[in-house]
Every structure is written in structure tokens, then in C-alpha cells.
Chain A
Amino acid sequence: MEFNTNFILGCSAIGAGLAVIAGIGPGVGQGIAAGHAAAAVGRNPGAKSDVTSTMLLGQAVAETTGLYGLLIAMLLLFVKPLV
């Protein structure tokens, strides 16, 4: 029994580590958004504040999928649903 619990805890830790790989996607997406925003500001410096706020809004929405991965990791580590 003791072995099983520890085994499940270890596997949960591995699963949590795998779950936060979800952070790659939002990272790439936010980078693309920031790059295009920089290009837009370079083309039209007058619209800097509009471009920045739109970029931040889009990035915050794009971040959601990465946060879902983080949530799964948190659940596995602290709530321990499998034990």
C-alpha cells in the first residue's frame, strides 16, 4: 500500500511536469503577437497606444491554454486526485 501511494505521487509529479509543457504554445503565440505589434508600431508610430492595448488583450486571451496546463499541474501536485 505504501509503495502504491508513493508510486502514484511520483507519477503525479511527472504528470505535472508534463502538463506545464503546455506553456510552449502560449509562449510562441505571445511572441508572434508581440512581433507583429512591433512591426505595426514601426509602420505607424502614431497608433502605438492602440496597438499596445490590443496586443496585451490578445496575449492575455492566448495565455489561457497555458494556464489550463498550469492548473492541471497544480491539481496533480496539491489536490492529489489520484491518491
Chain B
Amino acid sequence: MGQGILLSESADIDFMVHGVFPYSFFGHQVWITTTHICVLIVMLIIIGFCFAANRAVKHASEVPGTFQNIVELVVEMLDNMIGNVMGKFSPKFRNYIGTIFIFILLSNISGLFGLRPPTADYGVTLPLGVMTFVLIHFNKFKHQKVKGVIAGLCDPWPFWAPINIIGDVAVPISLSLRLFANVLSGTVMMALIYGLLSKIAIIWPAALHVYFDLFSGAIQTYVFCMLTMTYITDACTTDG
């Protein structure tokens, strides 16, 4: 890197995804990248938390201890958030929304701990968007039936259908690109600061970490889940 960007040669600016080791997959050379490893670390943390939470809830006491309190707080907060938006559809989607909320939140703030955030790779956010897309359309067909879906496509007039299809396809792309670009911009900004201003980057980058990793990451997680919930509720509502 460095020949495409107007920076000094000595600056080591590094925010790209790197390959760690290659392997052969049906004759194609595929790379295990840093993203895989970061996703794995985040997943291990979540799984460890889940086991601990499971044990804490199984041995739940009348007066909750510290850890049980935290678990109850997290579950209650997610339940409230999902119940407020989805109303009567919330029990069915609580698991999915809660899972992606915790995963995206931990991925976004993993930049604080020196990992490259997994969500700064389009290969991670696009599947999240595609999962939302599949859920939206599965529920649309389930609740509105084929007739309702066709009626929705030909909403103002029948020849408007291509525009509506483009609008439907744009949903997962814009969802995933929003999350990806936000986290990527934070990563690039921090890499530029540490690379170019390495001599004077002593304590003040902490404030930028709080903004780019914690604040922006939390907001984007909230936005992603909120939009997913809104779209799914929209698809489930039959009288629309």
C-alpha cells in the first residue's frame, strides 16, 4: 500500500483485511482472513457469556447477584426495545433481533480492544442484510399471501412494479452498506491518526475511540435493528 495514496512512505497505515493462511476449497484458493479470526473471537466471547448467563439463571437466587443482574438487565432492555417497535409480533422475532443486536454491538466495539472490527468487512454485513431480506419476504408471503404480495408490487399502478422491485432489492444493500461504511470510516480514521500522527497521538485518541467505536457503533447497531424490526413489522401487517 502507499502508492495509491498521497502519504509519506514511512507511515505505516494499516486498515485492510489481511489473509492469514490460504486453503484449497474445491480447487479454488481461498484465504482465512483477519475478519474470520475477529468474528471467531467475538463469537467465542458471546458463547462464553451465554454459558455463564445460562449457569447464573439456572442457579438464580431470590436476591440476584451482580452477574444475574447484568443478564436480566440486558434481556429486559432488549425485550422492551423489541416490544415497543414490533408490538404483537415481538415474541417470534425476539431471538433473532436480540442475537444480531448483541453480535453487531460487540463487533463494533471490538475496535476498542485492538481487533479490526468484523463489521468493517462487507462480507460480514452483507449476510446480515440478506438475512433481513429473507425474513422480510418470508413473512410477507406468510402473512399477506401471494395475492397481497402482488397487490403490494402493483401499488399505485401495475406498470410501477419494476420500481417497487428495485426498492425491495435496495433494502438489504442500503442496510448493509450503512453499517459497513460507518464502521469502516471509523477504522480508517483511527488508522490514519495512529499512522500519520504517531508522534503526538498520546492520550487524546481515546476521545476519538469513544466517538467512533462506542458511540457510532452503538448508534449503528440500534439503527440496523430498528430498521430490521420496522421492515419485518411492515411485512407482517396484513391490512397494509
Interface residues of A (CB under 8 A from B): 9, 12-13, 56-57, 60-61, 63-64, 67-68, 70-71, 74, 77-78, 80
Contact with A along B177-202 (1 / 0, CB 8 A): 11001101100100000000000000
> Of A9, A56, A68, A70, which one neighbours B219 at CB under 8 angstroms?
A56
Q: Of A57, A74, A78, which contacts B223 at CB under 8 A?
A: A57
Chain A residues within 8 Å of B203, by CB: none
Q: How far is the CA of A36 from the CA of B195 in the complex (A)?
A: 38
**Pair B177/A64 contact, Cβ less than 8 Å:** yes
Dominant SS at the A interface? helix
Q: Give me the 8 closest cross-chain CB pairs, A-B, nearest first.
A: A67-B181, A60-B223, A64-B178, A71-B181, A60-B219, A77-B5, A80-B4, A77-B4
> How many interface residues does chain B have, given as a range?
20 to 34
Interface residues in B64-87 (C-beta closer than 8 Å to A): none
Q: Is the CB of A57 within 8 A of B226?
A: yes
Residue of chain B at shortest CB distance from A59: B219
Contact indicator A71/B177 (Cβ below 8 Å): yes
Can you show 30 pairs from A to B with CB atoms below 8 A apart?
A9-B4, A12-B4, A56-B219, A56-B222, A57-B222, A57-B223, A60-B178, A60-B219, A60-B220, A61-B178, A61-B227, A63-B182, A64-B174, A64-B177, A64-B178, A64-B181, A67-B177, A67-B178, A67-B181, A67-B182, A67-B185, A68-B181, A70-B181, A71-B181, A71-B184, A74-B184, A77-B5, A78-B1, A78-B5, A78-B16
